[in-house]
Amino acid sequence: MSMFSLWSNGYDPLHHVGEASQHDPRFQLAALAYNLRWSWDQGARAVFDAVAPEEWRRTSNPVAVLDAATRQPGRLAANAAAIAAAHADLQRYLAAPPRRPGVPSVAYCSAEFAIAECLPIYSGGLGVLAGDHLKSASDLGFPLVAIGLLYRYGYFTQTINEAGAQRERYEHLEPTRVPLRPQLDRSGTPLLVGVPFPGRTVWARIWVAQVGRVPLYLLDTEMEQNREDDGWITAHLYGGDQDTRLRQEMVLGIGGARLLRALGEPRPRVVHMNEGHSSFIAMELARERIEDGHARTFDDALLQIAPHLAFTTHTPVAAGHDAFPSDLVEAYFAAYRQLYGIEHEQLMRMGRRDQNAAWERFSMTILALRASAYRNGVSQLHGIVSKEMWGGVGNGLSDVPPADEMDAVTNGIHTATWVGPDMSALFERTLGAAWRERPDDPAAWRAMEDADPGELWSARTAQRARLLDRVHQMSLREGLGGLSPEIQPDRALVLCFARRFATYKRAALLLEHPDRLARLLGGDPERPVALIFSGKAHPRDEPGKAVLQRVVNAARDPRFRGKLVFLENYDVQIARFMVQGADVWLNTPRRPLEASGTSGMKAVLNGAVHVSTLDGWWDEAYEPEIGWALGRGLSDALEPDARDRAEADELIDLLESQVVPAFFRRDDRGIPADWLHRSRASIARLSPRFSTHRMLLEYAERIYEPAGESSGVRVGASATPR
């Protein structure tokens, strides 16, 4: 098959290189489309909007823009100068010197990545964090490559039925219709990676999403060479049963290691596992050490690679940690484990906390801990909680943990991805280019403390208006009659709650006092308040679905109609609208179950005021001057039900007595000066601290650099020890 036929539009940027084509606007537009840097570059997005506004707005997919431009070349000619300028800017971006020279090469593995809405291979916070990790690594010039899976049916598209219940729809993704390229081998044919399965090899081909300077390699088993059921391994994200999950994690981990080998030298010096889904990568890296004669036993091999492996755990909720029964592990690993000469029982020990507890299942988290010298949680509080949960697990078969057995690197967000257009323009006027170039630098943001309140208010109002317009349109489309007329963008207070409907996040806490909530939303025409919800429940999380249904039905209740709205199908696009338009970002997890949370970080960057339980990142960020905290002074020993009741009371009290009055307290210019003081202080103090640039620089200093310099070996056995 000719590679060219893979490209619906005939412009494979890989094959379209030569001096002449560099100046061809079609080539330039393809180069812009196929580098996902557009997902955080307003300039490139403005070009797509100019070339094919209808296609761009409908699909948020630049490959559709490219197709439209191919059909109507006049559009290219009309925009040639803008295309050339954006292309030149991308080239400058790609060539910029690294911010911190000397960071070792890293392979970053994750089951999900959220880069842009046209690549639906994520479900929530873990994926968003991974996507933002890659974007900051690219901006900073870290030599990082990423490994994930291409889900043809992704996560699900959510709709709501008449009863207010969630329905899930799965749409097939055609990789050649989105910004993905096939990875080729030296002979120019698609690279295939084989993963050992019982009695056969399962093949994966590799798609590359180019994220600025970082390549994201996605393994995909939907191909003719595979048995039909093997083609389904990478079909759904977090779908299927344990069997499917295990097979998926074999493709991600073992396939990921084999992919690194197939990509050739130089091999990454550090492997970073984002959550335990990829931890089989350690088994394959260890197997290579044995095969190449660097290690005699499997345990030796694990001890050799551990100094180069880092593991980040993301949840204190038990269901978030995969664990497989012994017979399932044996069914898949019986032949594979013989490649490194170990018995089933020894393999099981790698996945057990108490190695001799025959009843313990094989935990992917324990394997990750046993394989990694560097382990961390994702907020300071979560670091402490994780140490309690996972303490005492050593490397290999040792039960003596590394000296620093659980570090904490607090999560962040990628500033340029989440900032809204009006706030971005305000930052540019107030701060110059510094906030873009060094978003992690507190000095770059300091002037926001004294930003002009009038200008801040107009930027906030413009972003609020964009959200309310969207909510109104969606509510009409869903047959819910739109927003009430008093919800006007220049007057209303907009409260937002958006996240996965996991029960510990307690989305319905506000509905515990329906009469008081109804008064808050509708009691005073001078003080219009809107409350907007969005979020998906995992398809098999029945309690989570019940909470969702309760919220949806509240949105249909005449007491709340037009003021309490539920937006279907929460994804990164809806998230952007919400975090950019919200005045108040609500977060109500049951402490300490929210490892970090990041949506609040996105909202405060855009000038929202955060109202949240003291959990995750807010536990370390909260100051009375900038936002509000729930559950202060409640004992960690309180029973969950009692905590829920206490915090439900506290939340509605707080909104009635402090939050709503503060927003409507206006000065003689009609501006809520005290409110904006909180907003400015939040932006100035929290944006740099909770950026992924700060996070990546911390990973570099505390984990990547020491792991890369370890005197052992490279991960990947073919290289000789230094």
Ligand X SMILES: *Cc1c(COP(=O)(O)O)cnc(C)c1O
Check if the beta carbon of residue 617 is closer than 8 Å to that of residue 379: yes
- Asked if 410 touches ligand X (CB under 6 A), the answer is no
Q: Which stretch binds ligand X (CB under 6 A): 121-129, 386-394, 400-408, 706-714?
A: 121-129
Report in angstroms how near the CB of residue 97 gets to ligand X at its nearest: 30
Check if the beta carbon of residue 26 is closer than 8 Å to that of residue 11: yes
The residue count of the chain comes to 722
Check if the beta carbon of residue 69 is closer than 8 Å to that of residue 56: no
Q: Which stretch binds ligand X (CB under 6 A): 85-93, 124-132, 218-226, 672-680?
A: 124-132
**Rounded to an integer, what distance in angstroms lies between the CA atom of residue 441 and that of residue 697?**
11
Q: Which of 61, 599, 679, 687 binds ligand X (CB under 6 A)?
A: 599
Q: Which of 598, 612, 682, 687 binds ligand X (CB under 6 A)?
A: 598
Report in angstroms how near the CB of residue 104 gets to ligand X at its nearest: 29
Report in angstroms how near the CB of residue 605 gets to ligand X at its nearest: 11
CA–CA–CA angle 122, 128, 130 (5° rounding) = 95
The residues, any chain, with a CB within 8 Å of residue 183's CB and separated by 6 or more, are: 190, 191, 205, 206, 207, 208, 217
**Rounded to an integer, what distance in angstroms lies between the CA atom of residue 18 and that of residue 472?**
49
Report in angstroms how near the CB of residue 601 gets to ligand X at its nearest: 8
In degrees rounded to 5, what are phi and psi of residue 604? Answer: -70, -30
Report in angstroms how near the CB of residue 128 gets to ligand X at its nearest: 4
- Asked if 581 touches ligand X (CB under 6 A), the answer is no
C-alpha distances in Å from residue 599, one per residue of 412, 413, 444, 500, 539: 10, 8, 22, 11, 22
Give the residue with the Cβ less far from ligand X, 517 or 575: 575
Check if the beta carbon of residue 86 is closer than 8 Å to that of residue 121: no
Tell me the per-residue interface mask from 185 to 214 with ligand X, x by CB under 6 A, - otherwise: ------------------------------
Check if the beta carbon of residue 510 is closer than 8 Å to that of residue 630: no
Report in angstroms how near the CB of residue 640 gets to ligand X at its nearest: 19
Asked if residue 592 has a cis previous peptide bond (ω within 30° of 0), the answer is yes
Compute how many residues bind ligand X; rule: CB under 6 A. Answer: 13
Q: 10 Å Cβ neighbour count for 508?
A: 21
Report in angstroms how near the CB of residue 510 gets to ligand X at its nearest: 16
Q: Which stretch binds ligand X (CB under 6 A): 275-283, 446-454, 591-599, 710-718?
A: 591-599
For residue 508, give the DSSP letter.
Answer: G
- Asked if 611 touches ligand X (CB under 6 A), the answer is no
**Rounded to an integer, what distance in angstroms lies between the CA atom of residue 702 and that of residue 229?**
43
Report in angstroms how near the CB of residue 563 gets to ligand X at its nearest: 23
- Asked if 606 touches ligand X (CB under 6 A), the answer is no
Q: Which of 36, 128, 260, 713 binds ligand X (CB under 6 A)?
A: 128
Report in angstroms how near the CB of residue 696 gets to ligand X at its nearest: 17
In degrees rounded to 5, what are phi and psi of residue 29? Answer: -65, -40
Give the residue with the Cβ less far from ligand X, 349 or 576: 576
Helix (H, G, I), strand (E, B) or coil at 390: helix
List residues bridging with 420 in a β-sheet.
none
Report in angstroms how near the CB of residue 615 gets to ligand X at its nearest: 11
Taking 3-state DSSP, the helix, strand and coil percentages for the chain, each rounded to the nearest 5, stand at 50, 15, 40
Give the residue with the Cβ less far from ligand X, 41 or 571: 571
Give the residue with the Cβ less far from ligand X, 366 or 467: 467
- Asked if 336 touches ligand X (CB under 6 A), the answer is no
Check if the beta carbon of residue 152 is closer than 8 Å to that of residue 120: no
- Asked if 124 touches ligand X (CB under 6 A), the answer is yes
- Asked if 313 touches ligand X (CB under 6 A), the answer is no
Q: Which stretch binds ligand X (CB under 6 A): 137-145, 278-286, 287-295, 596-604?
A: 596-604
Tell me the per-residue interface mask from 643 to 662 with ligand X, x by CB under 6 A, - otherwise: --------------------
Helix (H, G, I), strand (E, B) or coil at 230: helix
Beta-strand pair 214-220/144-149: parallel
**Rounded to an integer, what distance in angstroms lies between the CA atom of residue 647 and that of residue 449?**
31
- Asked if 260 touches ligand X (CB under 6 A), the answer is no
- Asked if 592 touches ligand X (CB under 6 A), the answer is no
Report in angstroms how near the CB of residue 431 gets to ligand X at its nearest: 24
**Considering only CA atoms, which of 508, 497, 520, 496 is closest in space to residue 548?**
508
**Rounded to an integer, what distance in angstroms lies between the CA atom of residue 1 and that of residue 10?**
14
Q: Which stretch binds ligand X (CB under 6 A): 307-315, 514-522, 597-605, 643-651?
A: 597-605
User: Site residues for ligand X, window 519-578 (CB under 6 A)?
Assistant: 570-572, 575
Report in angstroms how near the CB of residue 122 gets to ligand X at its nearest: 8
Report in angstroms how near the CB of residue 613 gets to ligand X at its nearest: 12
Q: Which of 247, 499, 643, 680 binds ligand X (CB under 6 A)?
A: 499
Q: Which of 13, 62, 104, 125 binds ligand X (CB under 6 A)?
A: 125
- Asked if 597 touches ligand X (CB under 6 A), the answer is yes
- Asked if 580 touches ligand X (CB under 6 A), the answer is no
Q: 10 Å Cβ neighbour count for 137?
A: 28
CA atoms within 13 A on the CB side of 409: 27
Residues near ligand X (CB under 6 A): 124-125, 128, 499, 570-572, 575, 597-600, 602
